[in-house]
Amino acid sequence: MNQSDTLAIVKPDAFGAGKAGKILAHLESAGFRVVATRVVRLSRTQAEAFYAVHRERPFFGSLVAFMTSGPCMPVLLRREDAVAELRRVIGATDPAEADEGTVRALYAESKERNAIHASDSPENAGIESAFFFAGTDRLLA
């Protein structure tokens, strides 16, 4: 079995609405193991750094404002083919287009307030995981 790690973030909308536990339970029932988690309130500087890849996109400012609007919960997850499986389990960015039973179909409010972030590639999973959980790979391998 080839286990890999990926990063999810329960975003401020879902965290503030008390949906973090349900989302984590959903992910665990889909075969993910929670390796590490924490609750943070991102500063503007942190959110801008984390989402720097989107800096030139028209939604960058509103994304940063949203991600700094309240606490969120980064979660380091592990399972076989973690990145692809997490993307499948969370569903499309727009909950109206997300498959039934996916995290976003169940818990997202809108395309912008979509409950959860997930790394989009193994490379980004490593970068994003290190942003929140630097050094965890040595402790939890």
Q: What is the pLDDT of residues 52-100, one digit of tens each?
A: 999 999 999 999 999 999 999 999 999 999 999 999 999 999 999 999 9
What pLDDT sits at residue 1?
62
Q: Is the distance from CB of 33 to CB of 79 less than 8 angstroms? A: yes
Going by their DSSP bridges, the two strands 116-118 and 3-10 should be labelled as antiparallel
* Domain coordinates in residue numbering, the chain: 3-42+72-136
- Known catalytic membership, residue 26: no
3-state DSSP assignment of residue 35:
strand
**Catalytically annotated residue among 5, 74, 117, 129:** 117
Q: What is the pLDDT of residues 79-89, one digit of tens each?
A: 999 999 999 99
Domain 3-42+72-136 indexed as CATH 3.30.70.141 = yes
pTM, rounded to two decimals: 0.93
